[in-house]
Structure 1
Amino acid sequence: METLLIYQVGSSNKFWKINQTGNSYVVTYGKVGTVGAVKTKTFDSEEECRKEADKLIRSKMKKGYVIAESNNLVLKDSTMTETLFWELIDKCKEKGDDSDEQMEWLVYQLSKRPVKDIVMFDYIFNTYYLKSYTSDLWAAAYITMGGCSDDCFDYFRAFLLYLGKEAYETAIKDPESLLPYLKLIEEQEEVPQLEELLSVACEAYEEKTGQDFEEYQDLYDKLTNEPFNQPEIEFDWDEDDEEGLKKKFPLLWEAFGETPIEY
């Protein structure tokens, strides 16, 4: 159930929308033409949720809100686009001397935006992040670091997105294209992992609202309606088969096979 109301009296030009799914609802409200703010609430039953939603709708209509004829031009879904997502990723690398300062800058920038933009940034990130969950990239990470656990591969893929769209897309097709970036990381005595990037959206949400991870995750699930499901991988390499790994990625093996970047 979704109901969109508007209030246009004098200088006021506001909207209020409620969307009920099962035993929870999402309320979006603000000035017409904007993304608006978001609130959610979950109940013990669908019936209880529907009663509360109906009560809120009646209350708003008593105050002068009327049903909107169309969603068009009333509210924006989000101003966070894929282009803006990659621009923020690129800009953060220029802000600070190390990744900690850069992630702090990114969290701050996101925290100044509407909650919907924070969620959409995370949604775009997760879309690309899931695409990088491949056998080839795991093999590349394994060779580079002389081993790669599940968590290590998660952080490696975050590092991959941090490199930017062009490097990311090229690496998906050819993991050996990462060699220049990996050599630079080695020279800096760092490791190709960026765990902090995984949580910037949640941290931005906490900074903006004061609410915690569980509340953010609940909002993310409700707004995107797409739970984070990691795909299955069919490995085409064996960690005990050094010759197979050497043949698979000879350039990476030559650079790191005998002297991996330790993590």
Structure 2
Amino acid sequence: MTIGEGINVKTVLRIENNTSKKVWKVEASGTICTMTSGVKKNSGAVRSKQFETAADCRKYAEQLIRHRLGRGYKPVSSSFYMIRKSCFTEADFWNVLKKAKTKGETQEQQLEWLVAHLAEQPLEDLITFDEILARIFIKSYQSQLWAASYIITGDSSDDRFDFFRAWLLFQGEAVYESAIQNPESIIPVLQALEEKEEVPQFEDLTYIGALAFEEKTGQNENLYYTLYDEVVLNSYIEPYIELDWSEADTENLSIRFPSLWERYGENPLEC
């Protein structure tokens, strides 16, 4: 039996006897072969191996399949099929973040839950979560929000703006979309943050997929991003934007964002 030449192929096998029921899955995705074993089709121990070529990856998957068939495993349905698109939706994405916000008093505790939760999901759902994050995250890459971030944090660097936007996204869909339209709408959220003596940044959310993948498979971020690039067809790259403000023009900033400037212009929340 030979796996086809498609970029992403998968097979699921199962074995059942008097003592146990086991499911085993192998995915040959480009140059990465991922094996999952457990009692359910979409969960269990996961390990991955990378090859120099897709042909070597498919050959290795074939060898594993023949070995399992020889041990008595049987196909769950058809033997081989193209990898199915995840059913994970944008609504699911926002619901997961909403649930994460309830898991602990601190952002660190909430991050820990989020990583563990994503690590328990099928690999295709984990990657889709990360793809949705990238698509939504890019919406906030705009000049006026960058100006607001500078006023709030006192730092105009690219990294600080990214970490601020990640924090903003984690606050939920309503807060995020409102801030994109009107940055001053987040003042109540910032006030609540000040009461906890915390700052508006969430660096770890920007590579949450890699963190969850490492938790799930024990493999490093390089393997994850290779797999991500091979599975995800859309690439979300921040466009070039012309900033319509400058740090030196404090008068303009105070006029455009009077409430933010009054609260943070002279006393930013330093991160």
TM-score by length of 1: 0.79
Q: 1:217 aligns with which of 225, 235, 241?
A: 225
Amino acid at match of 1:255: R
Deviation at 1:161, TM superposition (A): 0.7
Determine if the alignment matches structure 1 residue 50 to structure 2 residue 55.
yes
Q: Contact 1:35 / 1:76 at 8 angstroms: preserved in 2?
A: no
Aligned twin of 1:110: 118
Match of 1:129, SS?
helix
Determine if the alignment matches structure 1 residue 41 to structure 2 residue 46.
no
Deviation at 1:110, TM superposition (A): 0.9
Question: Percent identical across equivalent pairs?
Answer: 35
Match of 1:101, SS?
helix
Aligned twin of 2:200: 192
Alpha-carbon spacing, 1:58–1:181, altered in 2? closer, same or farther (3 Å) = closer
Aligned twin of 1:238: 246
Deviation at 1:191, TM superposition (A): 1.2
Q: 2:127 aligns with which of 116, 119, 133?
A: 119
Amino acid at match of 2:154: G
Amino acid at match of 1:127: R
Q: Contact 1:38 / 1:116 at 8 angstroms: preserved in 2?
A: no
Q: 2:164 aligns with which of 138, 156, 159?
A: 156
In 2, Cα distance between equivalents of 1:211 and 1:4:
21
Amino acid at match of 2:181: K
Amino acid at match of 1:99: Q
TM-score by length of 2: 0.77
In 1, Cα distance between equivalents of 2:223 and 2:80:
30
Amino acid at match of 2:254: K
In 1, Cα distance between equivalents of 2:11 and 2:219:
28
Aligned twin of 2:267: 259
Q: Contact 1:35 / 1:78 at 8 angstroms: preserved in 2?
A: no
Aligned twin of 1:141: 149
Determine if the alignment matches structure 1 residue 182 to structure 2 residue 187.
no
Aligned residues: 253
Post-superposition Cα deviations, 1:157-216, rounded to whole Å, max 9, x if no partner, equal 011111101111111111111111112222322211111222332121111111011111
Deviating more after overlay: 194-203 vs 160-169? 194-203
Q: 1:173 aligns with which of 174, 177, 181?
A: 181
In 2, Cα distance between equivalents of 1:14 and 1:56:
12
Q: Contact 2:26 / 2:61 at 8 angstroms: preserved in 1?
A: no
Deviation at 1:146, TM superposition (A): 2.4
Amino acid at match of 2:113: W
Q: 1:98 aligns with which of 99, 106, 110?
A: 106
Alpha-carbon spacing, 1:196–1:41, altered in 2? closer, same or farther (3 Å) = closer
Contiguous gaps of at least 5 residues in structure 2: 17-21
Moved over 4 A (4+): 3-20, 25-31, 33-40, 54-65, 67-71
Match of 2:102, SS?
coil
Determine if the alignment matches structure 1 residue 207 to structure 2 residue 215.
yes
In 2, Cα distance between equivalents of 1:25 and 1:41:
4
Deviation at 1:58, TM superposition (A): 9.0
Q: Contact 2:48 / 2:217 at 8 angstroms: preserved in 1?
A: no
Aligned-pair Cα RMSD in Å = 3.4
Deviation at 1:242, TM superposition (A): 0.7
Match of 1:211, SS?
coil
Aligned twin of 2:137: 129
In 2, Cα distance between equivalents of 1:183 and 1:125:
26
Amino acid at match of 2:117: Q
Alpha-carbon spacing, 1:77–1:160, altered in 2? closer, same or farther (3 Å) = same
Q: Contact 2:25 / 2:41 at 8 angstroms: preserved in 1?
A: no
Contiguous gaps of at least 5 residues in structure 1: none
